[in-house]
Structure 1
């Protein structure tokens, strides 16, 4: 892993592989760049693939301030400056998709293309906001471990433990390594994020939308909310919320095909 110290003082850990046009993969909540391990060898032969750990996650720093998805998007813009990237394809998983949409709203000229992977442009509804608040309180009172152990089964398709035991364990271990303060501040950022359906629908660049047919977190109809000549939709039949680990070959093929058409 490399480290980049950004203009705002945030330090991001990141993976940087391959050469060619830049593709930035941004992980989901309580995840890290390790989520993309199975996609790296499938994408790095034809692209420069970067995968940063968001603030408060993985090997990145945990700034002592209120987090927002807008601040995380600004982190990515500074990250591009530090790594010499003018434009990139930005693909965000779950939380990473919320950050990608905020980035697209503020820095559209720096995007070659954008994609949501098991993510949505919708904001949290009232029940989801209440659940975020409960999650914050749970971590404050009980630490990160009970929260992660309750979260991981929801991330995979039903019955996935028997099919993907190593990936299940990998996701659990990545989650357990998330700094509690980072998780709490990120829950608040997700709870307070804006509705960005208008951003997704008005993007002029190519857009990739990938959903899992068995996703227990974000159903496909919450991902497939834009259409048009610039929009590519992909439904992964056997995947839950973790298609990059459950069906990596199919996801990599979809991304490579999308990139080849840009």
Structure 2
């Protein structure tokens, strides 16, 4: 699968994978803010934005392979792979399937554990509803916990951008991605086996993957060769890269510089 992608900057390649159910449009501030420090590559994951969905069965492994195919197309041997929320799940799948292509890892607003049975059932409920009735259920149910209290109260522009991206998500891609995430395995074994540096970012107002999830990932990597650094961003919820872009960019730029 060939992914549509936007790239800016030069230097160390940094691939940023977007959250569900958004697109690479969420990384606008990163393409602008990180370009002086690295080569920023922001693909639309399959079915979202400008990328086709294809006929494969729902699978994060398929999404991970798409990312590596993009690296091949871009002439990139190894890259920092980073993801927000669903993008973090895909990042861990890349680490599982293609560790030799990973230079470093950024995990933002995400978690390593698999879904519970209740969570899987809820994903299927939403997938079915979206296919039958469109993305209204995402705006009503999925979007509110994606944003922190500060954003809801003070950042109307961010709220509007997120709503627009959620409403633009194609129902078939939404359903496919929900089913792919529901089927994902536990990834703590992947984190324990990492041999590259990692940066974990979490918003202090994140309701979906709060700080204990970030801490659990950091503890899994505590015994690895390179270890992990955890950063808590204040006044940010689940979509920390959109809610506090300057803080997010600063953390990622420092991380990339530390890779030497």
Same fold, judged at TM 0.5 (above):
yes
CA deviation vs aligned residue, 1:179-200 (integer Å, no higher than 9, x gap): 1101101100000000010111
Q: Given that residues 34 and 253 in structure 2 are in contact (C-alpha distance below 8 angstroms), is that contact kept between their aligned partners in structure 1?
A: yes
Q: Per-residue deviation at 1:159?
A: 4.7
Secondary structure at the residue paired with 1:12? coil
Tell me the equivalent position of 1:5: none
Secondary structure at the residue paired with 2:153? helix
Tell me the equivalent position of 1:204: 195
Q: Given that residues 152 and 168 in structure 1 are in contact (C-alpha distance below 8 angstroms), is that contact kept between their aligned partners in structure 2?
A: no
Q: Per-residue deviation at 1:139?
A: 0.8
Tell me the equivalent position of 2:78: 87
Question: TM-score, normalising length from structure 1?
Answer: 0.93
Structure-1 separation of matches of 2:238 and 2:41: 21
Describe how 1:39-54 pairs up with structure 2 within 5 A. Answer: 39-54=30-45
Q: Given that residues 14 and 52 in structure 1 are in contact (C-alpha distance below 8 angstroms), is that contact kept between their aligned partners in structure 2?
A: yes
Tell me the equivalent position of 2:120: 129
Structure-2 separation of matches of 1:51 and 1:249: 17
Secondary structure at the residue paired with 1:19? coil
Q: Given that residues 149 and 172 in structure 1 are in contact (C-alpha distance below 8 angstroms), is that contact kept between their aligned partners in structure 2?
A: no
Gapped regions of structure 2 (runs ≥ 5): none
Does residue 253 (structure 1) correspond to residue 250 (structure 2)? The answer is yes
Describe how 1:5-154 pairs up with structure 2 within 5 A. Answer: 10-154=1-145
Describe how 1:139-218 pairs up with structure 2 within 5 A. Answer: 139-218=130-209
Q: Per-residue deviation at 1:230?
A: 2.3
Tell me the equivalent position of 1:232: 229
Q: Given that residues 138 and 166 in structure 2 are in contact (C-alpha distance below 8 angstroms), is that contact kept between their aligned partners in structure 1?
A: no
Q: Which has the higher helix share?
A: 2
179-188 vs 144-153, which deviates more?
144-153
Secondary structure at the residue paired with 1:39? helix
Secondary structure at the residue paired with 2:51? coil
CA deviation vs aligned residue, 1:105-160 (integer Å, no higher than 9, x gap): 11111111012110111111122112101111211221112323432211111252
Q: How many residues align?
A: 253
Secondary structure at the residue paired with 2:208? coil
Structure-2 separation of matches of 1:117 and 1:208: 8
